[in-house]
Structure 1
Amino acid sequence: MDLRIKGRTALVLGGGGGLGAAISLALAAEGAKVAIADIKGDAAASAAHRIDAAGGTAMGLAWDLADLSVIDPSVRSIEASLGPVDILINITGGPPPTTARGIDPAVWAEHFNSMVLSVIAITDRVLPSMRDRRWGRIVTSTSSGVVAPIPNLGLSNALRLSLVGWSKTLSAEVAHEGITVNLVIPGRIATDRIRFLDEARAQREGRSLDAIQSSSTATIPMGRYGTQEEYADAVTFLASDRAGYITGSSLRVDGGLIQSI
């Protein structure tokens, strides 16, 4: 199926590794020009090089999402090199495991800035040009914790839920201008982040990593963790021209993990 995004410009936040890199590669495979933003500039450059080496077009940017002052110059750089942003993929790093109580307000503020406010501000920066062209795709990657809060991830559960309300509200405001706004909810996708959380749980519970991963897998109807490529393909479809009548939605890519309807 031709997703009809060849020549479109995509900005992938957190695109240097993990799910972000997989999404960057998937978009490029469909012919999109990809700007890859990551706090690790070398990781962004490496991902961009992989796309260039495969015959695509990409650029890497060192970008700390917590620093709102770099948004405008970074977007202007993308516009000058690749053209105005048509597709925005919002991915932010996850905060450390914590309870919901007893967290310093400064820690809440720090992660709110990098996980929530940055996404809103970057989206606001690229929306006007999407509205001018009457075409745009905004896809925000969240966590299964927005549906079923995950124990010991108090910061993540609370902050990512902020983006659920924001995304749904925004989708109704811009739908008539040809812009779609959707969420994607990952289950247990095999990433470094999931391995880190599994290792933290193993240490916390005094169990082996293999035992933790086996117990996690047992809760997934498909009986395995998802691959990064499977997640990237779902995001790329939502970012495509083919998904033009899907907006305000939350797509679960979880192998059936989340039991609620």
Structure 2
Amino acid sequence: MELGINGKTALVLSAGGGIGRAVAVALAREGVQLCLADINRDALDDTVRQVQKVGGIALPYEFDLASSDQVSEAISEILSKVGAVDILFNNTGGPPPGPAHGHTREVWEKAFGAMVLPVIGITDRLLPKMREKGWGRVITSTSSGVVAPIPNLGLSNTTRVSLVGWSKTLAKDVARDGVTVNILVPGRIGTARTRFLDNAKADRERRDISAVEEESAASIPVGRYGRPEEYADVAAFLASERASYITGSTLRVDGGLIPAL
């Protein structure tokens, strides 16, 4: 299927590995020119090399999403170089595991400052050009916890679900300008973050990591963790011309894991 995005420009956040890297490569295969952001320069450079292997072009930008000054400076530089970003893939790291109670105000502010405010701020910076051109895609990657809260991930469940409300509201605001705004919900995708959470659960329950992974895979109807590339293919479709009538939606890529309707 021709996705109709050859020659478009995308910004992929947290592109240094896992889901972000896979999305960058998937978009590059469709002829999208890429701006890639991550806090880890070595990881970012690795993604640039992966993009180049499939014939893509990528400009790396190293900055910390939790630093408003770094974010503002980087977005200004990106806009000065590429003029406008057509596709924004919002993707952040996750906060540490733990309950939804007992945290200090500073811990909550740090979580929102790293995972919510930069997503909103970057989107606000890029939207005017999208609306002016009459075409744009804003895709925000969250977690299955926004549909069915995940035990011991209180900070993640709380921060990420706020992005769902924001995305749904924004979608209506810009729909007539040719800009779609959607949420992608991953299930158990085989990334370093998933491995970290499995390890944390194994340590907490004093179990072997392999037993935790086997139990987790068995709870997924398809019987395995998803591959980052499978998630990235859905992101590429949402970014495409073919998905122009999908907006304000929350789309699951979870192998049937989430039990809620």
Q: TM-score, normalised by structure 2?
A: 0.98
Q: What are the Cα deviations for residues 62-101 of structure 1, in whole angstroms up to 9, with x where unaligned? A: 0100111223331232233334100000000000001111
Match in the other structure for 1:33: 33
**Paired residue type of 2:203:** Q
Match in the other structure for 1:171: 171
Of 222-231 and 210-219, the range deviating more from structure 2: 210-219
State whether residues 142 and 184 of structure 2, in contact with CA within 8 Å, keep that contact through their aligned partners in structure 1: yes
**Paired residue type of 2:82:** L
Q: Percent identity?
A: 56
> Are the structure 2 counterparts of residues 53 and 80 from structure 1 closer, same or farther at C-alpha, using a change threshold of 3 Å?
farther
CA distance in 2, matches of 1:212, 1:53: 35
Superposed CA RMSD: 1.0
- 3-state SS of 1:174 partner: helix
**Paired residue type of 1:55:** G
**Within the alignment, does 1:124 sit opposite 2:136 as a pair?**
no
- 3-state SS of 1:204 partner: helix
- 3-state SS of 2:252 partner: strand
CA distance in 1, matches of 2:223, 2:44: 32
CA distance in 2, matches of 1:251, 1:214: 26
Any residues of structure 2 matched to 1:1-20 within 5 Å, and which? 1-20=1-20
**Within the alignment, does 1:238 sit opposite 2:238 as a pair?**
yes
Match in the other structure for 2:184: 184
Match in the other structure for 2:108: 108
Match in the other structure for 1:255: 255
Any residues of structure 2 matched to 1:59-70 within 5 Å, and which? 59-70=59-70
State whether residues 10 and 32 of structure 2, in contact with CA within 8 Å, keep that contact through their aligned partners in structure 1: yes
CA distance in 1, matches of 2:71, 2:225: 34
CA distance in 2, matches of 1:85, 1:160: 24
**Paired residue type of 2:187:** G
Q: TM-score, normalised by structure 1?
A: 0.98
Structure 1, unpaired ranges of 5+ = none
CA deviation after TM superposition for structure 1 residue 12, in Å? 0.3
State whether residues 45 and 59 of structure 1, in contact with CA within 8 Å, keep that contact through their aligned partners in structure 2: no
**Within the alignment, does 1:228 sit opposite 2:218 as a pair?**
no
Match in the other structure for 2:95: 95
CA distance in 2, matches of 1:157, 1:50: 32
CA deviation after TM superposition for structure 1 residue 214, in Å? 1.1
Q: What are the Cα deviations for residues 175-215 of structure 1, in whole angstroms up to 9, with x where unaligned? A: 00000000000000001100110011011111111111111
Match in the other structure for 2:47: 47
CA distance in 1, matches of 2:257, 2:35: 32
CA distance in 1, matches of 2:80, 2:100: 43
**Paired residue type of 2:198:** D
CA distance in 2, matches of 1:152, 1:260: 18
Structure 2, unpaired ranges of 5+ = none
CA distance in 2, matches of 1:7, 1:34: 10
Of 68-77 and 163-172, the range deviating more from structure 2: 68-77
**Paired residue type of 2:64:** D
**Paired residue type of 2:30:** E
State whether residues 45 and 61 of structure 1, in contact with CA within 8 Å, keep that contact through their aligned partners in structure 2: no
